[in-house]
Amino acid sequence: MGMYASVRGWLEIDWEQRDEAERIITSHPHDLYAGGWAFPRAPFNWTLYLFYGGDIRQGEVSWLYGIVEELARMTPVDEDLDWPRGLFMVTAEGREGAETWQVREAAVTRVPAAGLSWLGE
């Protein structure tokens, strides 16, 4: 059957980046796990929060991480030069602790988050 990881998190992007984000996501199809992405139905305020949540096979975590890396590198669209930013939490069966993927300044950094391991219980 395999071991699973629970991945949940978000990215803060500009509304003008939605089309590019959708293009990136759809360019990495996956029959089972691509459906974990969610966008708000209609715009409100100025920030678009792009969410992912799903239980995926541990062997597919690298597929998702690659998408998050590509989304993190989307070029800023205004004079503020705000890169996408966000946070993802990953807990995995058979592993102690949790891991976060911190997204900022066009990069994704993996950081242990042992204090949040209760999320995987």
Please state whether the predicted TM-score (pTM) of the whole model is above 0.85.
Answer: yes
Taking the C-alpha atoms of residue 96 and residue 89, their distance in angstroms, rounded to an integer, is 14
Q: Given a cut of 60, is residue 107 above it in pLDDT?
A: yes
**pLDDT tens digit string along 12-38?**
999 999 999 999 999 999 999 999 999
Amino acid at 58: Q
Look up residue 106 and give its amino acid: A
Question: CA-to-CA distance for 103 and 86, rounded, in angstroms?
Answer: 5
C-alpha 72/C-alpha 44 separation (Å) is 22
